Structure 1
Amino acid sequence: MAAPAGWADLVRGRNGVYALALAGGVTLHAVNMYIATTVMPTVVVDIGGLDFYAWATTLFVVTSILGAALTATLLKTAGPRGAYVVATLLFALGTLVCSLAPDMAVMLAGRSVQGLGGGFLYALAYGLTRVVLPERLWGRAIGLISAMFGVATLIGPAIGGVFAELGAWRAAFWSLLPFAAGFALLAAATLPRTSPDRNERSALPRLQLVLLTAAVLAVSAGSLASDRAWIIAGLAVGVALVAAIAAVEARAGARLLPRRSFGTATPLGALYLMIALLMLSMQPEIFVPYLLQQLHGQSPLGAGYLAALMAIGWTVASFLSSRWQERGGDRLVIAGPALALAGLVLLAAVLPAEGAGDWLLLAPICLGLMLIGVGIGLAWPSLVTRVYQSAPATEQDLAAGGMTTVQLFAIAFGTACAGMVANLAGIAEPGGLAGASSAAFWLAAAFAAAPALGIAVAVKVVRLTGRTGRA
């Protein structure tokens, strides 16, 4: 058993350079997401395209998933150094196109290229952790990488908001380019040219990628519809296409995920399902700023930063979990969904009430949001480490890319479900305080099913991987 590693072991010497490069790429991807969300209202005022507003996010998510799914092939083709440089350059190219966009069509093209590069960067951060760092540092590195989304939640909206207030939304995109160039140069100078995983397959799973893209587009398109029948149809088609992917994977030579990843009787299947359920647990977050403004008298800025408590909880818990998992990894895996469930139950009880800024209501709402984030952060490093340790030696890159593919798909699917639940609960019709209150309850109550099921899956994960999962 390897000696427990401290944060100093991760941040000193060459390990620190690797950690900076990998965490930096994820930070670029994450900060860009929040900057774009903040400035898009200003963008459509300037260049038009309000009818396609939501597709700026939809296409970004779709191509991010494709990037994650194609990461194993990119690593095999270009090696760690080349893959990271290609990913960063794609991200920079998409960012440049966005900054110069004269109309929404060009903006959507730029966002698509950004998403592809960002998906590569995110998946490579997990995949290269295993390649460039010793196993005893995996938990620390994963904690650092996952914490970057929490950091981005705090600084991304602030950066985007400043540029939007100044009417300089193009500069918001420009501001990312020097950092992209810096991380590309750092990767070119430090990352290894080749990976030790020489026996991994590099064939492209074309059919699965087509089905995956169609599934995400169906779910996303359904969530944008105003007719409830179309919303439900989009979700049904998405689920059917996921089932089709599982059927194709069972007999395909070129694979999207490692073998036996679609059954919960296997370690990888249980782990991927656990990752998906944790991502579903946090999707009510997209409506929290609106509900805090409508029901609890918060300003847009205040509501946005209260909603960020979920990401803050994830960030803090990721750092703590990476230290605790050497001794209590099994308990952390089970505690994660249990805390997320407690947070959603608390939100279901308190968020629907009209508080007009009453901190007797805001305090438990804040606690509920923190509990969800803390639950995910506690379990996350241990889950990712177990994926590495459970994957066959010849499918390590597929396993690492698969984590990001599953995570991003769960986010897209969960966002669509959140929109469906909110619409069915009356957030738009009848709308107003009554609609907001109903939506607040049903969003929290419906999504509580994900961590509730996650507790049972966590027990299975521990049973299947408990011995392997101890670093």
Structure 2
Amino acid sequence: MTEQKIGWSALLSGSNGIRSLALAGGVALHAINVYIATTILPSVVAEIGGLDYYAWNTTLFIVASIIGSVLSANLLAVSGPRGAYVVAAGLFGLGTFICALAPSMPILLLGRFVQGLGGGLLFALAYAMIRLVFPQALWPRAMAVVSGMWGVATLAGPAIGGTFAELGSWRMAFWAVLPTTGLFAALAFAILPGRSPDTDEKPGLAVPQLALLILAVFVVSLGSVNPKLVWNIAGIAAALFLVAILVLIEGRAETRLLPRGAFRLSSPLCMLFVTISVLAIAVTVSEMFIPLFLQVLHAQTPLIAGYLSVLMSVGWTMGSIMSSSNQGRRAEKAVRLAPVVALSGMILLALLMPGGSQGEWLVLGPLSAAFILVGAGVGISWPHLLTRILQAAPPGEQDLASASITTVQLFATALGSALAGMVVNLAGLTDPGGHAGTQNAAFWLFAVFAIAPLIGVFSAARALGKDERR
């Protein structure tokens, strides 16, 4: 296939263009909701309470998304692309409806869980469909399109959430999503095929491993809301124990949660999964609390705080699209450079965010640059990391690899969000709270989680080194 045939026109025109529209639409729906919820959450807790469970809105959403991602292959086999996308959109719409009516934090968390289940299906189905409907030469660009939808979400999500938050009607932000969900379901039904050409039988479901994975996230989350350090440590220890059991079961199971080699440290596949995990954690924990930090420490309105926080995703999107055409050594350099760039952004945030300001651009400008650095550090490597995972999967496990990308990414972000809640609560976000508590929480959040991209520096180098020796 010539370079011209594998360019952007090959992906975005003709039948490929229609398929790209369907994949992009599902991811955009999921991503826009993420930014709406992030932007309005300070207003939500101000009305219905639940500051101690601030991080749980993200944790439960992502836990449910993990379940959806694991079920995606089964749903695709049973219902086909058309039916799978309609079911996913229906669940997403139901969760949004519950959130819009929620009178208390527990009900809101229920809605976020149902939303996450539908969103996880939409997210994972996009990766599965990339492998099914596009030639391998187009995979990096298709991955970049999926990432690019987070850039679209950075425009729409904060605009919807921030506008309604400033009007004192955060519920309308959820109501506004419902018509779009219905339109997407109709579009998917109209343009997607009824059956998948190479999915003839329902794959097995790794129920024990999935249960252990979810339980690990929950025990960390339960520990994170307790003010006593001993319970926080107990939650982390219990989660590590559960993951260890998962690894043992996975090594002997016929039905696997991840492809063979995913838990073997000597495997390139393992190092690739480690790299996407730590990079995803760096972005997730930052974006989750940035709107709150900007409003309390830097005197920003919900709308402006929302837009500034999504600069991280703008950096991710720009990095993905600009880097997606890299091949060979240039792609390897992008993977090696990415964690270094993200690490520099995290260090800047630890130094600059706690200082506080009245919104002067001499302060907000460097902060904005730090947001972009963290996002770009992930984006420039993302299409190549995901493509390498599909290529490195053992023969016959490509479907599993497609679903596992979302599973691992979401598990990492769920665990990261739970740990982030633990860090900020221990650092004083709720006790003593206020300006001083938020300052302390901001410093320790970014300082602690700078470790994530630092790990990525080494895991990326090992993954590439092992790839070269294979």
Q: Normalising by the residue count of structure 1, what TM-score does the alignment of the two structures yield? A: 0.90
1:3 partner amino acid? E
Q: Which shows bigger deviation, 442-451 or 55-64?
A: 55-64
* 1:442 aligned residue: 444
Q: How does 1:196-275 map to 2 (within 5 A)?
A: 196-198=197-199, 202-275=203-276
Inter-partner Cα distance in structure 2 for 1:364 and 1:107: 35
Q: Which runs of 5+ in 2 are unaligned?
A: none
Aligned 8 A contact 2:62 2:414 in 1: yes
Give 1:85 shift.
Answer: 2.3
Inter-partner Cα distance in structure 1 for 2:301 and 2:54: 23
Inter-partner Cα distance in structure 1 for 2:360 and 2:40: 30
2:196 partner amino acid? S
Q: How does 1:156-167 map to 2 (within 5 A)?
A: 156-166=157-167
Q: Which shows bigger deviation, 300-309 or 258-267?
A: 300-309
* 2:192 aligned residue: 191
Q: How does 1:9-408 map to 2 (within 5 A)?
A: 9-39=10-40, 55-100=56-101, 107-166=108-167, 168-198=169-199, 202-282=203-283, 283-325=285-327, 328-408=330-410
* 1:416 aligned residue: 418
1:120-167 alpha-carbon deviations (Å, 9 max, x no partner)? 000111111111112221111111111222322332122123334555
Inter-partner Cα distance in structure 2 for 1:42 and 1:443: 22
Q: Which shows bigger deviation, 282-291 or 61-70?
A: 282-291
Q: Which shows bigger deviation, 88-97 or 370-379?
A: 88-97
1:306 partner amino acid? L
1:176 is paired with a residue whose SS is helix
Aligned 8 A contact 1:228 1:420 in 2: no
With over 3 angstroms needed to count, the CA separation of the structure-2 counterparts of 1:3 and 1:341, relative to structure 1, is same
1:118 partner amino acid? G
1:226 is paired with a residue whose SS is coil
Give 1:244 shift.
Answer: 1.6
With over 3 angstroms needed to count, the CA separation of the structure-2 counterparts of 1:108 and 1:415, relative to structure 1, is closer
Give 1:77 shift.
Answer: 2.4
Q: Normalising by the residue count of structure 2, what TM-score does the alignment of the two structures yield? A: 0.90
1:95-140 alpha-carbon deviations (Å, 9 max, x no partner)? 3344455666654443322211110000111111111112221111
Aligned 8 A contact 2:343 2:374 in 1: yes
Inter-partner Cα distance in structure 1 for 2:356 and 2:175: 41
Q: Which shows bigger deviation, 373-382 or 454-463?
A: 454-463
1:380 partner amino acid? W
Aligned 8 A contact 1:201 1:254 in 2: no
Inter-partner Cα distance in structure 1 for 2:352 and 2:95: 42
Inter-partner Cα distance in structure 2 for 1:259 and 1:196: 25
2:324 is paired with a residue whose SS is helix
Give 1:400 shift.
Answer: 1.2
Q: Give me the identity figure in percent.
A: 53
With over 3 angstroms needed to count, the CA separation of the structure-2 counterparts of 1:383 and 1:467, relative to structure 1, is farther
With over 3 angstroms needed to count, the CA separation of the structure-2 counterparts of 1:278 and 1:347, relative to structure 1, is same
Q: Which shows bigger deviation, 229-238 or 101-110?
A: 101-110
With over 3 angstroms needed to count, the CA separation of the structure-2 counterparts of 1:425 and 1:107, relative to structure 1, is closer
With over 3 angstroms needed to count, the CA separation of the structure-2 counterparts of 1:111 and 1:301, relative to structure 1, is closer
Give 1:257 shift.
Answer: 0.9
Inter-partner Cα distance in structure 2 for 1:255 and 1:271: 18
Inter-partner Cα distance in structure 2 for 1:308 and 1:41: 16
1:59 is paired with a residue whose SS is helix
2:262 is paired with a residue whose SS is coil
1:323 is paired with a residue whose SS is coil
Inter-partner Cα distance in structure 1 for 2:427 and 2:152: 32
1:442 partner amino acid? W
Inter-partner Cα distance in structure 2 for 1:207 and 1:444: 34
Aligned 8 A contact 2:59 2:417 in 1: no
1:306-346 alpha-carbon deviations (Å, 9 max, x no partner)? 22221111111111111224661101111110101111222
2:191 partner amino acid? T
Inter-partner Cα distance in structure 2 for 1:281 and 1:117: 24
1:115 partner amino acid? G
With over 3 angstroms needed to count, the CA separation of the structure-2 counterparts of 1:108 and 1:373, relative to structure 1, is closer
Q: Which runs of 5+ in 1 are unaligned?
A: none
1:203 is paired with a residue whose SS is coil
Give 1:433 shift.
Answer: 4.9
Report the RMSD for the aligned CA atoms in angstroms. Answer: 2.8
With over 3 angstroms needed to count, the CA separation of the structure-2 counterparts of 1:13 and 1:273, relative to structure 1, is same
Give 1:47 shift.
Answer: 7.3
Give 1:230 shift.
Answer: 2.0
Inter-partner Cα distance in structure 2 for 1:414 and 1:433: 24
1:352 is paired with a residue whose SS is helix
